[in-house]
Amino acid sequence: MDLLLRNAFIYTGDADHSCVPRGSMLIKEGLVRWFGPDAERPALGDAREVDLGGQVVMPGLVNTHAHGGLSLHRGRGDDGDLFQWSRTIAPYTSTLTLEDNYRGCQVAVMEMVRNGITTVCDCTRYGADLFSMVASGIGMRSLSGALASSPELRPAGRHNWPQALEETDRAILERGDDPLCRFYLGAHSPYSCTAERVQEIHRAARERGLPFIIHVAENRQEVEMVRERHGCRPIEWLHRLGVLDAHTLLAHGVWLEANEIEILAATGAAVSHNPTSNAKLASGVAPVPALRGMGVPVGLGTDSMLSNNGQDLFQEMRMSVLLQRAHTLDGHALSARDALAMATREGARSIGWQQEIGSLEVGKEADLVVLDLWHPLGLSAERVLSDLVYRAGPQHVRTVMVHGEAIYDEGHFTRVDEAEIRHTIERHCETHLPP
Ligand SMILES: [Zn+2]
């Protein structure tokens, strides 16, 4: 049924960060068909009308990097840098069964939706389609896949290529018609993959018209490992291999020199910035202003519950600004507008979904979040944008919609029973996982 949201403060998330203070939005067949001042709203027809009582409507948040399957182990490995951490968590991550992965994805998806996330790019090692099954069932969009590696460089765990390719091909065949699901092919990282493996995965992605994803330049030690092995820095190496282009998404990108940022800008590759994870794993602060200044698309990511530990893009927006300012001692290094762009429109662009999602504009998907952001001085564009970045959290989220359907409303998931899912997860953990 068509839907008319009225009496809302609409933050469109368009390129100008336009707002409509007392606005209405008409949603037809899951798409935004009209929005503007309440007083100018079109004839209702048979649309259902909802009075939002002055609440804020914003575009659904786009999480450009996550590992939902690891969520059962939240809180293990809270200390240490990237390589120390990966050794600490290896006993859990390398023995993960498909059911552990599936249950972890349920934990992650429910938390993301509760936090206003409507689209996520998820990475796994085994079970390339599990995340998308869970996300689609709950009503969230996903770009899912597995990051493959080379067994000689990443010996722990089972080796996952060409299994990842077979799983992805099967998922596309079985579920490619589901508009909520998209898939990619990925390589784990320059330190865990040979040149041949990276190129093989990239070639397979291009043949299928899929995005290519890799973790890169996350940690300083990684840069040294790549330099010793290949005589150049990670971005230079990927560029030599010919795998950087407008369909490539690089997770982290913390340790980047000016010439590497130029390479990214020239090739069109995008970066997923994960400020909390980068800080928690003592990786560093990514050069986000330089990347964006050169026109590199930058989205925000939560990373996994083992390195974050929440799945909250409001927190990532806040962290992206605060860390940058603390690191550069420049109070203008990033603004609330920059953070909002990365969490919505630029995030959508970095995962190749910008035609359909990332902002509330006529013709685009009605993926949106309704928040209760009461302010003693009343709502204005400046106050709402400020609150969304420096204050907002899941406690303010009232409703989450994807394709015009409320998938989360007033604390409840509309398609699934959260209590029942939690109970199943607990029973699984009791019988299958160490305490
Ligand atoms: Zn990752």
Question: How far is 392 from 379, CA to CA, in rounded Å?
Answer: 14
- Residue 287 shares a structural domain with residue 378: no
Looking at the DSSP assignment, which residues form a beta bridge with residue 56?
9, 371
Distance 377 CA to ligand 1 centre (A): 41
CA end-to-end span of the chain: 47
CB burial of 162-191 (b: ≥16 within 10 Å; e: otherwise) equals ebbbebbbebbeebeeeebbbbbbbbbbbb
- Residue 335 shares a structural domain with residue 194: yes
pLDDT surpasses 90 at 154: no
In 3D space, the residue among 146, 28, 53 whose CA is nearest the CA of residue 410 turns out to be 53
pLDDT surpasses 80 at 155: no
- Residue 216 shares a structural domain with residue 340: yes
Average pLDDT, the chain: 96
- Residue 373 shares a structural domain with residue 296: no
Distance 334 CA to ligand 1 centre (A): 24
- Residue 284 shares a structural domain with residue 305: yes
In a domain? residue 153: yes
- Residue 20 shares a structural domain with residue 111: no
Please report the pLDDT score of residue 204 as a whole number: 98
Please report the pLDDT score of residue 94 as a whole number: 84
Give me the percent of the chain exceeding a pLDDT of 90. 94
Q: What is the DSSP letter of 365?
A: B
Please report the pLDDT score of residue 404 as a whole number: 98
- Residue 82 shares a structural domain with residue 10: no
In a domain? residue 408: no
Please report the pLDDT score of residue 248 as a whole number: 98
Distance 372 CA to ligand 1 centre (A): 32
- Residue 30 shares a structural domain with residue 134: no
The domain boundary, picked from 350, 371, 392, lies at 350
- Residue 237 shares a structural domain with residue 123: yes
Distance 385 CA to ligand 1 centre (A): 29
In a domain? residue 433: no
Cα 300-345-190 angle, rounded to 5 deg: 40
Distance 405 CA to ligand 1 centre (A): 30
- Residue 256 shares a structural domain with residue 268: yes
- Environment class of 249 (CB within 10 Å of its CB; exposed 0-12, middle 13-18, buried 19+): buried
Please report the pLDDT score of residue 108 as a whole number: 98
Contacts of 393 (CB under 8 A, 6+ apart): 115, 312, 314, 315
Question: How far is 14 from 345, CA to CA, in rounded Å?
Answer: 7
In a domain? residue 174: yes
Distance 251 CA to ligand 1 centre (A): 6
- Residue 47 shares a structural domain with residue 104: no
Distance 274 CA to ligand 1 centre (A): 9
Distance 284 CA to ligand 1 centre (A): 15
Distances (CA, A) of 311 to 71, 187, 277, 391, 402: 10, 23, 11, 16, 18
CB burial of 364-387 (b: ≥16 within 10 Å; e: otherwise) equals bbbbbbbbebeeeeebeeebbbbb
Residue range 185-239, pLDDT digits in tens: 999 999 999 999 999 999 999 999 999 999 999 999 999 999 999 999 999 999 9
Distance 123 CA to ligand 1 centre (A): 7
What average pLDDT score do residues 402-427 get?
Answer: 98
Residue range 98-149, pLDDT digits in tens: 999 999 999 999 999 999 999 999 999 999 999 999 999 999 999 999 999 9
Distance 49 CA to ligand 1 centre (A): 42
Distance 357 CA to ligand 1 centre (A): 23
At 431, which amino acid appears?
Answer: T
Distance 90 CA to ligand 1 centre (A): 14
In a domain? residue 416: no
The domain boundary, picked from 309, 328, 350, lies at 350
In a domain? residue 427: no
Give the CATH number for residue 256: 3.20.20.140
Please report the pLDDT score of residue 45 as a whole number: 78
CB 340 within 8 A of CB 387: no
Distance 304 CA to ligand 1 centre (A): 7
CB 265 within 8 A of CB 297: no
pLDDT surpasses 90 at 178: yes
Count of structural domains, the chain:
2
Residue range 44-61, pLDDT digits in tens: 778 899 999 999 999 999
The domain boundary, picked from 350, 369, 392, lies at 350
Please report the pLDDT score of residue 176 as a whole number: 87
Torsion of CA 295, 344, 342, 107, to 10 degrees: -140
Q: Is the pTM of this model over 0.85?
A: yes
Please report the pLDDT score of residue 21 as a whole number: 97
CB 140 within 8 A of CB 402: yes
Task: Tell me the residue range of the domain where 16 lies.
Answer: 3-59+360-403
Sign of the alpha-carbon dihedral angle for 210, 139, 47, 380: negative
- Residue 278 shares a structural domain with residue 385: no
